[in-house]
A and B are shown apart, each in its own frame.
Chain A
Amino acid sequence: MSTFKVVVSNIQQITPLIKQFSFIREDGASFPPFSGGSHVVVAMNINGRLHRNPYSLMGSPQAPDAYHIAVRLQEHSRGGSAYLHHEVKVGSQLEITYPNNLFALDKRARKHLLVAGGIGITPFMSQIDDLIRTKANYELHYAYRSQDHAAFTSALKEKCAERVHVYVESEGLSIDLKALLSKQPLGTHVYVCGPNAMVVALIETARSLGWPENHIHSEQFLAPPSGEPFKVKLAKSNIEVHVPAEMSMLEAIEAAGVDAPYSCRGGACGRCELEVIRTDGVLVHQDHYLSEADKAAGKKIMPCVSRAKCQSLEINL
């Protein structure tokens, strides 16, 4: 995977829990433009173990002077967000992948309806630049817990004016999804990024109101959930890898020195799909990529977030 070596050029405390990091390239060259909604994967060496987390790129996609990401300190951080918040300083060196977009705007839309919850605002921070530049019709609905969590609200109000609608839960405001999705003009596309419950509720509400699937877009990066340890046998490499409870299968495979494909590392893109040869237990699918039928068939697994409850699992790698 192609990567950039970057230096942290600026860190801003956006809210008590969110920091924004700006990167410039170590070789001084400029970054390539990207499309709104793109993300990069940030690699971090934490106590000898390589962590790779996906983060949405913010700011102008057209002429990026620097790349910017916003990171929320997770309560149960596996290491990545805590490391970025506590260890990374201006001048720290990191490695990031080229941008990739799993949450692109659909250019055929007659209106774009953006719905963000909490830190889920980040992919919209670049999409909005694209929407303003192309003079597209859009609305942003942004919900968060309290004023303490109000990331980028004033910047958004300045940029989007009456197109941004803010809902502060502590003030008793929440998005009435049914009301919102019932009155959108024909040809609207909806995009949602936020906590799982919000994403699921929006998708279900849109479907029940008759929105076609290709008008509903969502992005959710999952942190690899921990689970029971198990062993995975790599058929082509002919080695056996132990997957500890707190490590993902993909991380364990990489730690064993085997190059496995990946892109988003959050169960969304499908790039890391592996073929299951056999298992003496059950697969625990946790991704958003495989269809229900594929999950039931048990022939494929996404090792970035999914695991197995078994003694051993054999995969074609």
Chain B
Amino acid sequence: MERGYWIRSKPVYSTLVWQQQANAHIVLVEGSAGGLAAMKLFQQMHPEHPTKVLYARNPVVQQDLSIPLSKVVPDALLMFETTEESLVAFEAHLSSACMGLRIYVAGSERFIWQMAQMADKYGIDDSDIIKELVGTLARPIYCVHCKTISYEAHTNIKKCDGCGKQLFVRDHFSRRLGAYMGLMVDAEDPGQIPSIEEIYP
């Protein structure tokens, strides 16, 4: 990678920190790493405003943090097995929420941007969501050729789930699609595939 090279569309993530000016809070976390991010958040403090934690245990829980979380925030915790169930509960919450709700998300990029797309549907910009990338650097990839989004790209080049082309995983990111751009890597020299390396563990 060229030094000093940075694409503005590539999201920059931070660490979950409570927003003091708020009316209510909702914390959306995925897997054991997300659960830990929520635990860290409650180490900072327990906010005075109404708070909910939505914990999706997927994909594979190495360490289940539902027990410590339920001790720390017994009234606020809602547990789900999958992101999809968590999304349904998030939407139900958004539909009755008022302005002043602060949204915190910790998980993979796939999870973060699924939540951000849902918030967008309710008029909240992703720039107003506190986002922490945890667990994995796996990228969702949008194939510019067949428009399929493939998940779990751990390598610099990944085969498209839709058309089977070998896609070069770029840094260009679409907030609307919640995915990085993928371009056929051997379009100009068919069959010439550079070495495939794991760079998004």
Contacts and interface: CB of A to CB of B under 8 A. Distances in A.
Contacts of A188: 99, 123
Contacts of A170: none
Contacts of A134: none
B99 A209 contact: yes
A207 interface: yes
Contact of A110 (B19, B23, B100, B123): B123
A210 B101 contact: yes
Contacts, number: 57
A86 interface: no
B22 A209 contact: yes
Interface residues of B, number: 18
A186 B21 contact: no
Given A185-B99, A186-B94, A186-B97, A212 B23 contact: no
B102 interface: yes
Contacts of B122: 110, 186-187
A192 to B, nearest CB: 14
A212 B98 contact: no
Interface in A175-192: 181-188
A238 interface: no
Secondary structure at chain B's binding surface: helix, strand, loop or mixed?
A: loop
A108 interface: yes
Contacts of B97: 185-186
Interface footprint category on A: 20 to 34
B101 A186 contact: yes
A214 B125 contact: yes
A103 B22 CA distance: 25
A210 B123 contact: no
B21 A207 contact: yes
Given A108-B123, A109-B123, A214-B125, A184 B21 contact: no
B104 to A, nearest CB: 12
A211 B123 contact: no
B96 to A, nearest CB: 8
Contacts of B101: 186, 210
Contacts of A214: 125, 127-128
Interface in A216-250: none
A182 B123 contact: no
Nearest to B24: A210
A184 B123 contact: no
B124 interface: yes
Contacts of A206: 99
A252 B98 CA distance: 49
Interface of B: 19, 21-24, 94, 97-102, 122-125, 127-128
Interface of A: 108-110, 181-188, 206-212, 214-215
Given A209-B21, A212-B125, A215-B99, 4 more contacts: A186-B99, A187-B123, A209-B99, A210-B101
User: Considering the complex of A and B, which 10 residue pairs feature the smallest CB-CB distances, nearest first?
Assistant: A187-B123, A210-B22, A210-B100, A212-B128, A110-B123, A209-B100, A184-B99, A186-B97, A186-B122, A210-B21
